[in-house]
């Protein structure tokens, strides 16, 4: 992609981030109630906004090397499985406790060979991702490479993929390592443990397009459509504050993302609306290239090639 094309893609991506909500809708208070819903949308349920196929714009949301693709799919299993009590709907990766990342406001900025998370609480977020000497329940195989200021760079040893967590809006990670800032987190010289290997080897096999679908959930977890048709709201609130959102649970809710091969299912209690997630994946501008949207009685189906992600209603 040319430099001008990259700049345009970045501008379009920014228009879909929640941080730009006020810029997209001047004069609208994002914390306001239903009185600010435009007249042509008032009273319309989210499911009625559903659009068709993604037109396949390349905005860099899903363009990445194989290491990143594999890592993002693994991270999706950690993020979207949550709930540890007896009888929870969550699948085994809930044990990694990555689901708590949705307690934080995070802007996801995917790069070709890195996943960048921009947040005002990078110290807390990275401590939820990288195991330390006291907690084994983190991303299996993740190790810290370096930290400086409020920026952390880690590598997932099994896939070789890197992740950056920073408070810097530009997402850059240059600087000199400060060992005292991260003295409890496991560094890259610590081998992957047998337990971590077992956790990863126990994951179901995944078709390539299925990996793209799961990775797409991660890169779209904090987006809002400038046309006010959908929002993923960091998976904890509805930035559009539609009246029907008041009927959904908020706070500490359960999630389950599981499947095998070409077929995967996701369900959860609370935010976001299932139709919003389906739309974010198939949006004409920021949707996953080549994805199609289908529906049946119980779910929305995000279809990519022979793979399908069923989003339970």
Return the SS3 of 238.
coil
How many Cβ atoms from other residues are within 10 Å of residue 192's Cβ?
Answer: 16
The pair of three-digit structure tokens given for residue 16, joined into one six-digit string: 């879909």
* pLDDT greater at residue 305 or residue 26: 305
Residue 116 has pLDDT above 50, yes or no: yes
CA gap 75, 105 in Å, rounded: 17
pLDDT band at 77 (very low <50, low <70, confident <90, very high): very high
Residue 226 has pLDDT above 70, yes or no: yes
Q: Which residue has the tokens 């609370």?
A: 270
The pair of three-digit structure tokens given for residue 31, joined into one six-digit string: 């914390």
Nearby residues of 196 by Cβ (< 8 Å), 6 or more positions away? 131, 140, 141
* pLDDT on residue 231: 96
* pLDDT on residue 244: 75
CA gap 220, 17 in Å, rounded: 9
Closest Cα to residue 199, out of 155, 165, 152, 156? 156
Closest Cα to residue 217, out of 163, 168, 164, 264? 264
Q: How far out from the chain centre does Cα 14 lie?
A: 16
42-51, 57-66, 201-210: least confidently modelled range: 42-51
Residue 136 has pLDDT above 70, yes or no: no
* pLDDT on residue 42: 35
Instruction: Return the ∠ at Cα 16 (arms to 70 and 116), rounded to 5°.
Output: 40
Residue 25 has pLDDT above 70, yes or no: no
* pLDDT on residue 180: 67
Estimate the crossing angle of helix 208-219 against helix 66-79, to 10 degrees. Answer: 60
pTM of the model: 0.84
């Amino acid at each position: 992609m040319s430099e001008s094309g990259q700049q345009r893609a970045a501008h379009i991506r920014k228009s879909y981030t929640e941080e730009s909500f006020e810029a997209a809708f001047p004069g609208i208070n994002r914390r306001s109630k239903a009185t600010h819903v435009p007249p042509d949308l008032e009273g319309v349920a989210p499911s009625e906004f559903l659009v068709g196929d993604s037109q396949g714009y390349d905005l860099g949301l899903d363009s990445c090397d194989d290491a990143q693709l594999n890592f993002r799919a693994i991270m999706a299993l950690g993020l979207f499985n949550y709930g540890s009590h007896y009888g929870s709907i969550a699948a085994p990766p809930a044990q990694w406790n990555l689901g708590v990342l949705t307690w934080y406001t995070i802007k996801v900025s995917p790069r070709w060979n890195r996943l960048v998370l921009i947040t005002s609480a990078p110290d807390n977020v990275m401590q939820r991702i990288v195991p330390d000497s006291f907690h084994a329940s983190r991303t299996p195989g993740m190790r810290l490479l370096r930290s400086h200021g409020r920026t952390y760079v880690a590598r997932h040893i099994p896939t070789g993929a890197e992740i950056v967590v920073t408070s810097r809006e530009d997402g850059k990670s240059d600087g000199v390592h400060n060992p005292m800032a991260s003295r409890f987190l496991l560094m890259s010289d610590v081998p992957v443990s047998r337990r971590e290997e077992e956790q990863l080897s126990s994951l179901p096999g995944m078709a390539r397009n299925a990996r793209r679908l799961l990775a797409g959930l991660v890169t779209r977890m904090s987006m809002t459509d400038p046309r006010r048709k959908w929002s993923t709201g960091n998976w904890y609130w509805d930035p559009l504050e539609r009246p029907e959102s008041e009927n959904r649970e908020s706070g500490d809710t359960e999630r389950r993302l599981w499947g095998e091969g070409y077929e995967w299912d996701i369900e959860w209690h609370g935010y976001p609306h299932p139709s919003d997630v389906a739309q974010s994946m198939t949006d004409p501008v920021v949707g996953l290239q080549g994805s199609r949207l289908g529906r049946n009685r119980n779910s929305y189906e995000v279809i990519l090639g022979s793979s399908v992600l069923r989003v339970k209603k």
